[in-house]
Amino acid sequence: MSQKPADALAQHWTDRLPAGLKPYARLSRLDRPIGWQLLLLPCLMGLAVVRIQDGFFAEDARYALAFLFGAIAMRGAGCTYNDILDRDIDAKVARTRARPIPSGAVSLKAAWGWLLLQCLIGLVALLMFPRFAQITALIALPLVALYPLMKRITWWPQAWLGIVFSWGALVGGAAVAFPPNEMPPEAIALYAGCIAWTIGYDTIYALQDREDDALIGVRSTARLFAEKWRVWTTFFYAAALFLWSVAAYLAGAPFATIGLLAVIAAFMIWPMLQRVDDAKGETALAGFKFNALIGLAVLLAFASEPIWRTLRPLMG
């Protein structure tokens, strides 16, 4: 049995799968839920920030469920596609050579079939949304397809990841937009903030691979920023908080929402950055994973006002 990746959960339901299915679960990174969590959070943020003035509606629960299944399926599809394209590079890197394709656990033909199945699940989730949200989601597909190539041609693959990984903020905004065919400006500001956030946390993640990436010629912002990575990541987190505050302001949120974002910066983001030691890969991985909690806190900041507006009439 192959050793679990460092960022996989020690115990996960995929451990109980039949032996023949386990490589496909690993191919989709199902034992590493941080990926789909970070993909899901901007979707729910987009929905929440646009609902700030009116509160949540019953249909929003359906959208949230569709986002959940869509995020899991499409993150898995993206990982599968990435591994198909990167199979030769992965075979040369210690951290990735045990992945299902380079190790031979999954054939190239089977990987393409698994990719198609996950895309079909994503399509079912997509059909649960209004037409404007469907069109918005489909626009991202060419950008997603190009992402695995970015590490070969630009020092900013983290920025491209931000563009595609944050797209759910636009889809979430489009799902509940009013007028129904116009993208709310707060969703656009939210999207920009999520891009900056993604650059920050994925730079931290890439700190683990700087030596291997340098040997095989893979580019990243972690290599580009070099010893100034902490200054740059702090800048991108600050930019994210500023743009998220702009989104809250455009949505008509009370100052309490912006205050919550400031609290998140003071008690979550700054301590997390200080705990990361670029000479210790485990601290970079821990800092990266902590962003799921940061994103959840930001989501709750945006959702607090619409939750209150939803519950207030029920409380008489």
Cβ-based neighbours of 272, under 8 Å, separated by 6 or more: 287, 290, 291, 294
Tell me the two tokens of residue 257.
């929402």
Q: In this structure, is residue 228 part of a structural domain?
A: yes
Residue 168: what pLDDT? Answer: 98
Q: Please, which pLDDT band fits residue 100 given cuts at 50, 70 and 90?
A: very high
For the cut 80, the answer to whether the pLDDT of residue 112 exceeds it is yes
Q: Is residue 315 part of a domain?
A: no
Residue 127 falls inside a structural domain:
yes
Query: Is residue 16 a part of any domain in this protein?
Result: no
Compute the average pLDDT of residues 273-292: 96
Provide the domain count of the chain: 1
Residue 96 lies in a domain: yes
Q: Residue 10: its pLDDT value, please?
A: 76
Angle in degrees, 0-180, between the axes of helices 168-175 and 131-139, rounded to the nearest 10: 170
Cα 284 to Cα 289: distance, rounded to the nearest angstrom: 9
Locus of tokens 């702090």: 234
At 1 the pLDDT is 43
pTM for this one? 0.93
Comparing 78-92, 175-189, 197-211, the range with the smallest average pLDDT is: 78-92
Assigned domain for 7 exists: no
Indicate whether 69 pLDDT > 70: yes
The CATH number assigned to the domain holding 136 equals 1.10.357.140
206 in any annotated domain: yes
> What is the pLDDT, as a whole number, of residue 246?
96
Domain range holding 300? 22-310
174 in any annotated domain: yes
